[in-house]
Structure 1
Amino acid sequence: MMPGRNRVALAFMAHPDDAEFCCGGTLIRLRELGWEVHIASLAPGDCGTMTENRWDISSRRTREATAAAQLIGATYHCLDERDGFIVYDKPTIQKAVDLFRRIAPGLVFTHALRDYMMDHEMTALVARAASFLHGAPNASAFPLKENTGVPYLYYCDPPEGLDPYGQVIAPTTYVDISAQLEKKAEMLACHASQREWLRSYHGMDEYIDSMRRHAAFRGKEIGVAAAEAFVQHRGHAYPRDDILAELFPLKR
């Protein structure tokens, strides 16, 4: 890891349960190494239901997200945007910058820049903006924490590992989560409200099984039972060494 960055990881996602689907296994591995872990969602998932009003489902889903984070000793945050209406605008960026400022992450996960859902794409843009900007003294009223800087930034797999045109994403980085798969499933199971929603709206009867299938798909590509895949952001000012590959080298 490059000097001057904190051993703090932030999964900055659109909705409750996105982190568990996309990078839960890697978050578990980071916690096992002693990293501080935060999970944030921009929205509380207020449209993730066919039967409840937005207030009841938001309350339920944020409680589920908190419980999932607590399973691994992580902290959950919600920025209280509206489900389906996440946008890249000044107020949303400011919320994200303030959160990043308070946490000072050295490693950030977010959605793919090209994803099936616009909430995910907008969240990825907000995460990218906040990761770059939050260290500027004038960007937030929150004080700068020690070792604040531009963090490692990784984009998670979109669902099925496909871009909006049906093309398979080519990862830069894989993390073997074979030993963490059951704990990842346990985290995902905390989001019980989503089984009926996904079955009704997405035609997906078992969200935990779908997670297992995707983990097996990525695992097969590197010869392990289960894996998570990422694309690293390596633009100007961002770290270009692959910290995940260094922390979790693959056995060949």
Structure 2
Amino acid sequence: MEKVDFLAFGAHPDDIECGIGGTIAKLTRLGYKVGLVDLTLGEMATNGSVEERQREACQAMEILGASFRVNLQIPDLGITLSRENVEKVVEVLRKAEPKVIAAPYWVDRHPDHEKAGHLVKEGFFNAGLKKVLPEIQPIKRPEKYLRYFLSITSTPSFIVDVTEYYSIKKKAVLAHISQFSQRPEFNQTFLNEGQFLGRIESRDLFFGSQIGKRYGEGFVLQEYIELRHPLALL
């Protein structure tokens, strides 16, 4: 694990790609270092073994250009705010020292997505407490904690134009063959029944339309953004 500018968290090995794959592709192409953290191995998925899903996650990481991808191996469908889980997040934050982090929005159809965001928030706060894992330095929090959307959206705090990088996002999502392919050997699920990928693109088209672009990815901040003056918007 190395120091990065931006660190993205997902509950399962394909969440980050589906949510903000375009933003990550954009950041890495602009020269920023990005790390990816999967909380679980996704072992409860209908299709795909743990080994298959790890290979797919690695391929997607390479497509996006991320510096590393780690898995905290919290049980799938078992994300809790236990001390052990919080400390796993704290350890990653202190070792990678990201300036900005992102995790799933607090409302979603999948309970693991909601719980992932809550767990990362706990880790974000605890990373700045000197009595939590004092042996892992430096003791500090990232500057900003962002939320990104998966199944359910809301009003974003800001939208990133990812039009130029959207083909990379699609390629990274489709690297998760076991989850999104319609091959005969796979059981039909919500993810591969033919409409799920279209829902992702529809969401990103909508956010893009809100800023006059083709594709966009929305983020939520729970605090206000300070501007030095109104012209700093330009």
Q: What's the TM-score, normalizing by structure 2?
A: 0.85
Structure 1 residue runs of 5 or longer lacking an equivalent are 1-5, 162-168, 243-248
Residue of structure 2 in register with 1:117 after alignment: 110
Measure the CA separation in 2 of the matches of 1:17 and 1:116.
16
Displaced runs of 4 or more, over 6 A:
none
Picking from 27, 30, 33, the partner of 1:30 is 27
Alignment of 1:91-240 (within 5 A): 91-140=84-133, 143-145=136-138, 148-161=140-153, 169-196=154-181, 200-202=188-190, 204-205=193-194, 207-234=196-223, 240=225
1:115-147 per-position Cα deviation (integer Å, ceiling 9, x unaligned): 11111111101111111221333322553249x
Measure the CA separation in 1 of the matches of 2:209 and 2:113.
26
How far off is 1:187 after superposition?
0.9
Percent identity for Structure 1 against Structure 2:
24
Q: Aligned pair count? A: 222
Residue of structure 2 in register with 1:87 after alignment: 80
Q: Which amino acid in structure 2 is aligned with residue 211 of structure 1?
A: I
Measure the CA separation in 2 of the matches of 1:129 and 1:111.
13
Measure the CA separation in 2 of the matches of 1:185 and 1:42.
22
Conserved in 2, the CA contact under 8 Å of 1:199 and 1:206?
Answer: no
Conserved in 2, the CA contact under 8 Å of 1:11 and 1:109?
Answer: yes
Measure the CA separation in 2 of the matches of 1:212 and 1:233.
25
Measure the CA separation in 1 of the matches of 2:212 and 2:74.
40
Measure the CA separation in 1 of the matches of 2:53 and 2:135.
28
Picking from 52, 62, 75, the partner of 2:54 is 62
Q: Which amino acid in structure 2 is aligned with residue 192 of structure 1?
A: I
Structure 1 range deviating more: 70-79 or 172-181? 70-79
Conserved in 2, the CA contact under 8 Å of 1:102 and 1:142?
Answer: no
How far off is 1:158 after superposition?
3.0
Q: Which amino acid in structure 2 is aligned with residue 8 of structure 1?
A: D
Structure 2 residue runs of 5 or longer lacking an equivalent are 228-232
Conserved in 1, the CA contact under 8 Å of 2:18 and 2:150?
Answer: no
Measure the CA separation in 1 of the matches of 2:135 and 2:59.
27
Residue of structure 2 in register with 1:246 after alignment: none
Measure the CA separation in 2 of the matches of 1:88 and 1:199.
32
Measure the CA separation in 2 of the matches of 1:142 and 1:186.
40
Q: Which amino acid in structure 2 is aligned with residue 153 of structure 1?
A: Y
Measure the CA separation in 1 of the matches of 2:76 and 2:40.
5
Conserved in 2, the CA contact under 8 Å of 1:101 and 1:140?
Answer: no
